[in-house]
Amino acid sequence: MSRLILAFDLGGTNVRCGILDEKFEILARAKTEVGKRPAPEAAVGKMKQIADEALGQLGKKLGDIACVGIGSPGPLNSQTGVIFETPNLGWKDVPLAKLLGDALGRPTFLENDAVSACWGEYVKGVGQGVQTMFIFTLGTGVGGGLIIGGKVWKGPDDIAGHLGHMIVEPNGPTQVFDNPGSVEALCSATACIKAAQNAAVTYPESLLARIPADEITGACVNECADKGDQPARDIFERIGRHLGIACASLANAFNPELGVVGGGLAFAGDKIMAPLRKELRRRALPPAGKRLRMEFAQLGDNAGIIGAAGLALHRLDGKL
Amino acid sequence: MSRLILAFDLGGTNVRCGILDEKFEILARAKTEVGKRPAPEAAVGKMKQIADEALGQLGKKLGDIACVGIGSPGPLNSQTGVIFETPNLGWKDVPLAKLLGDALGRPTFLENDAVSACWGEYVKGVGQGVQTMFIFTLGTGVGGGLIIGGKVWKGPDDIAGHLGHMIVEPNGPTQVFDNPGSVEALCSATACIKAAQNAAVTYPESLLARIPADEITGACVNECADKGDQPARDIFERIGRHLGIACASLANAFNPELGVVGGGLAFAGDKIMAPLRKELRRRALPPAGKRLRMEFAQLGDNAGIIGAAGLALHRLDGKL
């Protein structure tokens, strides 16, 4: 009989869970809000609550679960299960795998959310059949993940795959720490909103200028761009170009087969992807550029849950 | 008894060879000039000639050689043994492994020169004991090589490791193809000379301005810098900073243990390494930056021969 895996996708606002079989089909799901800057114990309580809800849908108990996976924003250490810092949740040095494992009584493993999404797309999404791929997840920050030769590559300190901290414009703006012009500082939803606020001032005729500055979201910018607003279109064009530069560096450095763009901003679609591909074709060595297929993530919100489940099962089985 | 390996390091001006044992000690060596833009057959003739010379020193014959390795500038395909293009030699689509293999009658394998140097440092130089490392070789161009988890990583198209084509300043100058602001365009000896020629015009009081423009070499710039000439020092400072940006991207993406700087310009020493390390520390995620040790290559000219020998033996034994 197939083992069951319980997996969580922990976000800044919501936490979602799913129960999956070994083929990573999601058999049941539940979600709830975590609230603003919750105490870790409170968040764990809510996670247990939605786990019980999902188990109830299947008529199962915690004892039927082989292992538990959590995909969480980082930085974190997936070997020790400790979250170093999540600005969105306001956490610092939280041993989440241990806390949740104690609450659920099952072997529990923690993984970076973007790495989970990368693995989800690899086993069940757009990455099926490839051996070497990477992901950029464009959200509040820019997450990343790296699969080399069919294995998640985390490096000796469990920190590899932070592709959002690659540098594409060294004199560019700074986001979280003093690393100006990183992919994160230029291509995150946060950067998109900031660029739109600036464009609204510079181009008072832009549709962006009709939105109160503090109400601008990535979705607003996308709507304006779809209505033909040039300043809004330019924002996505620049994001695509900057991502394309990072993808070209990755192509020339490690010759991957697939690059995936996921996360909230992916709704901008071809407005990001067309300039990305153009910049990649221009800058990659021809065999590397020809090989690297760039695609959007296919699994949406499910990628994180599927990937967290897959990586937890790998850890349980000693394959990671 | 230990097998013997014959290895070549093919440069734009000279070709050198060595005969090595399985511990990669160089037992004999010989070298000659290849001449400007030689016909491939002529170069192969000279390679056979120095091989005979080195064999003579040991009282050995070609039949005593287990296999032959060649480290060569690329781009090339190490699986097929074909050099696609070497601007310095003026070659295009030359099946060098086959040509030399036919001339010597021994199994012959071709590898990129920087990848060879990386492997040489890994088995016998500054990289001994590490599992994940990279190299930048600062010469006419900037070569690169990547070892991940103890294996040379070449990717599905044998093109991975071209770190000189990572982008660090997207609006910067262009070197070989339309990839402005690549490491190669900013940190090669060619870029160093070009920068010195420009500085000589901009700063007529600089020592650089006393040298005829077409006689400026990397060594000249180094001498001027050592005499305290600020424009010359600034050139190496910028090269170090740009390399540091690329190293920070590599640290955040791969979490390597070691980065090596080799090639001609390495003689600039701390004038490059100090700004490199500073930029790396600033931009790398703390665990990744703490882990990544940056060092100069230790083996000098021997790295290419040792690495070509090691990789040829790996291929002979089916390990690559």
pLDDT digits 0-9 by tens, A45-58: 999 999 999 999 99
Q: Does A46 touch chain B (CB under 8 A)?
A: no
Residue A36, pLDDT > 90, answer no
pLDDT category at B88 given cuts 50, 70, 90 is confident
**Which of A162, A238, A258 would you mutate first to test chain B, the one with the most B CBs within 10 A?**
A162
- Is residue B265 within 8 A of residue B239, CB to CB? The reply is yes
pLDDT category at A113 given cuts 50, 70, 90 is very high
For A159, the closest of B163, B168, B287 (CB atoms) is B287
Q: What percent of chain A has pLDDT over 70?
A: 100
**Mean pLDDT of chain B, nearest integer:** 96
Q: Look at A254 and B165 and tell me if their CB atoms are within 8 Å.
A: no
DSSP A211: S
β-sheet bridge partners, residue B293: B258
- Backbone φ and ψ for A66, nearest 5 degrees, come out as -75, -45
Closest CA to A1 of A17, A19, A18, A23: A23
CA atoms of B165 and B263, how far apart (whole Å) = 16
Enumerate the residues of chain B whose CB falls inside 8 A of the CB of residue A182.
Answer: 283
- Backbone φ and ψ for B136, nearest 5 degrees, come out as -115, 125
CA atoms of B240 and B238, how far apart (whole Å) = 5
Q: How close is the nearest chain A Cα to the Cα of B53, in Å?
A: 38
pLDDT score recorded for residue A176 = 78
A-B C-beta contacts closer than 8 Å = 138
Q: Could you identify the residue written with the tokens 């230990």?
A: B2
CA atoms of A191 and A199, how far apart (whole Å) = 12
Q: Look at B148 and A144 and tell me if their CB atoms are within 8 Å.
A: no
Gyration radius from chain A CA atoms? 20
Residue A74, pLDDT > 90, answer no
- In chain A, list all ranges with CATH 3.30.420.40: 4-118+301-316, 129-296
CA atoms of A178 and A170, how far apart (whole Å) = 11
- Is residue B162 within 8 A of residue B34, CB to CB? The reply is no
Give the pLDDT mean for A39-48.
96
A4-118+301-316: in CATH 3.30.420.40:
yes
Q: Look at A253 and B248 and tell me if their CB atoms are within 8 Å.
A: no
pLDDT score recorded for residue B76 = 92
- Of all residues in chain A, the one with the smallest CA distance to B160 is A254
pLDDT digits 0-9 by tens, B265-314: 999 999 999 999 999 999 999 999 999 999 999 999 899 999 999 999 99
pLDDT digits 0-9 by tens, A296-310: 999 998 999 999 999
Give the pLDDT mean for A33-51.
94
Residue A68, pLDDT > 90, answer yes
Q: Does A129 touch chain B (CB under 8 A)?
A: no
- Is residue B131 within 8 A of residue B123, CB to CB? The reply is no
pLDDT digits 0-9 by tens, A260-280: 999 999 999 999 999 999 999
Closest CA to B176 of B203, B209, B204, B139: B139
Q: What percent of chain B has pLDDT over 90?
A: 91
pLDDT digits 0-9 by tens, B114-129: 999 999 999 999 999 9
pLDDT category at A216 given cuts 50, 70, 90 is very high
- Of all residues in chain A, the one with the smallest CA distance to B163 is A253
Helix or strand or coil: residue B194?
Answer: helix
pLDDT score recorded for residue B28 = 98
pTM: 0.96
Closest CA to B250 of B140, B138, B136, B117: B136
Q: Could you identify the residue written with the tokens 């087969």?
A: A257
Fold of A129-296: Nucleotidyltransferase; domain 5 (3.30.420)
**Which of A85, A249, A276, A278 would you mutate first to test chain B, the one with the most B CBs within 10 A?**
A249
pLDDT category at B62 given cuts 50, 70, 90 is very high
Residue A1, pLDDT > 80, answer no
Q: How close is the nearest chain B Cα to the Cα of A11, in Å?
A: 22
CA atoms of B9 and B28, how far apart (whole Å) = 14
Q: Does A98 touch chain B (CB under 8 A)?
A: no
pLDDT category at B70 given cuts 50, 70, 90 is very high
Q: Answer with the residue of higher pLDDT: A119 or B75.
A: A119
Give the pLDDT mean for A139-167.
96
Q: Does B162 touch chain A (CB under 8 A)?
A: yes
Residue A191, pLDDT > 80, answer yes
Lowest-confidence pick of A169-183, B91-105, B121-135:
A169-183
Residue A88, pLDDT > 80, answer no
pLDDT digits 0-9 by tens, B223-278: 999 999 999 999 999 999 999 999 999 999 999 999 999 999 999 999 999 999 99
pLDDT category at B181 given cuts 50, 70, 90 is very high
Give the pLDDT mean for A107-121.
97
pLDDT score recorded for residue B319 = 87
CA atoms of B283 and A171, how far apart (whole Å) = 12
Q: Does A259 touch chain B (CB under 8 A)?
A: no
Both tokens assigned to B264: 């001609």
Residue B1, pLDDT > 80, answer no
β-sheet bridge partners, residue B138: B142
Q: Does B288 touch chain A (CB under 8 A)?
A: yes
DSSP B178: S
Reported ipTM: 0.95
Q: How close is the nearest chain B Cα to the Cα of A46, in Å?
A: 31
Residue A87, pLDDT > 80, answer no
For the domain B4-113, what is the CATH code?
A: 3.30.420.40
- In chain B, list all ranges with CATH 3.30.420.40: 4-113, 126-296
Enumerate the residues of chain B whose CB falls inside 8 A of the CB of residue A154.
Answer: 255
CA atoms of A69 and A71, how far apart (whole Å) = 7
Q: How close is the nearest chain A Cα to the Cα of B246, in Å?
A: 8
B126-296: in CATH 3.30.420.40:
yes
Q: Give the CA angle between residues B126, B129, B134 to the nearest 5°.
A: 55
Residue B315, pLDDT > 80, answer yes
Alpha carbon distances (Å) from B9 to A219, B81, B295, B305: 56, 15, 22, 6
pLDDT score recorded for residue A98 = 98
CA atoms of B171 and A49, how far apart (whole Å) = 52
DSSP B317: T
CA atoms of A246 and A262, how far apart (whole Å) = 15
Q: Answer with the residue of higher pLDDT: A175 or A274.
A: A274
Alpha carbon distances (Å) from A73 to A203, A304, B2, B102, B289: 35, 11, 52, 57, 20
Enumerate the residues of chain A whose CB falls inside 8 A of the CB of residue B156.
Answer: 131-132, 255, 257, 291
pLDDT category at A12 given cuts 50, 70, 90 is confident
Q: Look at B285 and A165 and tell me if their CB atoms are within 8 Å.
A: yes
